[in-house]
Structure 1
Amino acid sequence: MVKRTSIHDLQGWDDAPDLDHLVKDKRSGKRATPAKARRRNRRYENRLLNAQVNELIEPDDDDGEAL
């Protein structure tokens, strides 16, 4: 079985054009309609992009210094 999509799957902006391949739906055969599958994939694509934007806005600093 395919693992769930994680926000860590998108390593950087270079991977953004491949969102269709990064988003994995492990329940694809169990969705009621194809529209619900597309909606789910769109939601996870947006989740990946928002996590990347938040990482740019608030980078994870180990030393606690502001930029």
Structure 2
Amino acid sequence: MDLFIAYITSHHTPTAGILVVTDIFGFEAPVLRKLVDMLTSYGCYVVVPDFFNKDPYVPPHIGD
């Protein structure tokens, strides 16, 4: 059985639900987490699934 990983956050009394689909950088991007936490503060239940199975795109370092 495979597990499905997701970042889930919720307001204590949510009035709406939001499913956030990520880009190639995955669900652990710091800016994305800040955005999701902000949506939670507006009274939402937010789910961000990990579609890349903990293997997001990592850009090469310029100059290496």
Higher helix share: 1
TM exceeding 0.5: no
Higher strand share: 2
Highest Rg: 1 or 2? 1
TM-score w.r.t. length of structure 2: 0.29
